[in-house]
Amino acid sequence: MVYDDNNVFARILRGEIPCRKVHEDEHTLAFHDINPQAPVHILVIPKGAYVSMVDFTARASDVEIAALFRAVTKVAEIAGVTVEGWRLLSNVGINGGQEVPHLHIHVFGGRKLGPMIAKPV
Ligand code: AMP
């Protein structure tokens, strides 16, 4: 998967399309997923152009990496899910089901989230 400057999250970062922002800092942006799969479904993204977790851990600075993971926890706190529990998930590549080629971490919560992954069909 290659980085496409016109992917939807790059366009959100450039302000070309709107998002429902939850949190922002120097290195990250978090916003509500447009098609939520749980009462809380927020996406946390780095501001840098990284395709996936593989690309991010290879090329991002330690500061960017720390900022992303701190932002994930911050978002869970803002969403009020840290006491009852929540889940973070990042899809990578075709088998992972990644649709948008800009690294994003899903934050889910607000209900019992069920099995970790779907059973094979
Ligand atoms: P993934 O399948 O892990 O690549 O997840 C992509 C996610 O991006 C999906 O959950 C979509 O609902 C979400 N999404 C796509 N377009 C937008 C958008 N404009 N604003 C917010 N979330 C979006």
Closest CA to 28 of 71, 58, 66: 71
Quickly count: other Cβ atoms within 10 Å of residue 23's Cβ: 17
* Residue of 6, 13, 29, 34 with the most ligand 1 atoms within 8 Å of its CB, for mutation: 34
Architecture in CATH for domain 8-109? 2-Layer Sandwich (3.30)
Q: Is the CB of 33 under 6 A from ligand 1?
A: yes
Q: Spell out the domain ranges in the chain.
A: 8-109
Please, are residues 10 and 102 in contact by the beta-carbon 8 Å criterion? yes
Ligand 1 centroid to 87 CA: how many Å? 16
Please, are residues 57 and 103 in contact by the beta-carbon 8 Å criterion? no
DSSP 41: E
Question: What tokens were used for 86?
Answer: 């929540």
Q: Is the pTM of this model over 0.75?
A: yes
Question: What tokens were used for 36?
Answer: 């939520």
> For ligand 1, what atom is nearest to the CA of residue 32?
21
pLDDT digits (tens, 9 = 90+) for 11-67: 999 999 999 999 999 999 999 999 999 999 999 999 999 999 999 999 999 999 999
Quote the percentage of the chain above a pLDDT of 90: 94
- The whole-number pLDDT of residue 119 equals 83
Amino acid at 52: S
